[in-house]
Amino acid sequence: MRKLARLFQNNKDWSAKMKRTQPDFFEKLSAQQTPEYMWIGCADSRVPANEIVGLMPGEIFVHRNIANVVVHTDLNCLSVIQYAVELLKVKHIIVCGHYGCGGIRAAMENNEHGLIDNWLRHLKDVYRYHQQELDSIKDEKLKEDRFCELNVLEQVNNVCHTTIVQNAWKAGQDLSVHGWLYSIEGGDLTDLDICISGKDEISKTHRLV
């Protein structure tokens, strides 16, 4: 099938509806974007950033990958963070994981999955940092859920450890990094009560002068 007709029809309907309800919507949006939020989430098709938090196009800057990982040398993710922080001046970066994450599940196994194992390796590192706690959870579902949470915690730390975020704080920019979890089963968001807003709140090892 060369043409995905259903998607184009959907787009036509959607843009017509938007123009009907807010005639200047696209005109305003094409002039500039001023999102206050950046979202780092899982690529999972069941976790669409805008819909979950009820935001319109232009309101949230989004980066997604498998299991919402922030790798120190991932130029893709780092470039998105840099653009969001330095140019768009977002006030909040949200790392949002989700329960039942296939990436997390795969990282708990020892089967080979091909190229993706190199990505999952970062998740295995997270497991290793918290091995004692995770190994002590006997119920597999609870263990997996806790791994999802600890992964968000570590990725929040990774965002904060970037030179981008630390330089923004140094310059006095108002910027907070949050950790959330989404439940696909119920559609609910949970705030993990992780909110980092300055360099005093990060580990000394990573803190830059």
Catalytic residue among 63, 92, 98, 178: 98
Residue carrying structure tokens 């600890």? 150
Q: Which is nearer to Co ion, 96 or 202 (CB)?
A: 96
The answer to whether 101 is a known catalytic residue is yes
Pairing, β 176-182 against β 189-196: antiparallel
Q: Choose the catalytic residue: 77, 101, 148, 160.
A: 101
Residue 15 CB, nearest approach to Co ion (Å): 30
Q: Is 44 a catalytic residue?
A: yes
Confirm whether 195 is a catalytic residue: no
In the complex, what is the shortest distance from the CB of residue 80 to Co ion, in angstroms, rounded to a whole number? 18
Structure tokens at 184: 């696909």
By the 8 A CB rule, do 171 and 115 touch?
no
Query: Which residues are at the interface with Co ion (CB under 5 A)?
Result: 42, 44, 101
| Least Cβ distance, residue 87 to Co ion (angstroms) | 28
Which entry of 13, 46, 113, 206 is annotated as an active-site residue? 46
Distance CA 50, CA 39 (A): 9
Cβ atoms of residues 38 and 94 within 8 Å: yes
- Judge whether 148 counts as a catalytic residue: no
Looking at 42, 96, 148, 160, which residue is catalytic? Answer: 42
Cβ 165 to Co ion, closest distance in Å? 23
Beta carbons of 87 and 168 less than 8 angstroms apart: no
The verdict on whether 92 is a catalytic residue reads no
Residue type for position 173: Q
DSSP H or E run through 94: strand 92-98
Q: Which residues are catalytic?
A: 42, 44, 46, 98, 101
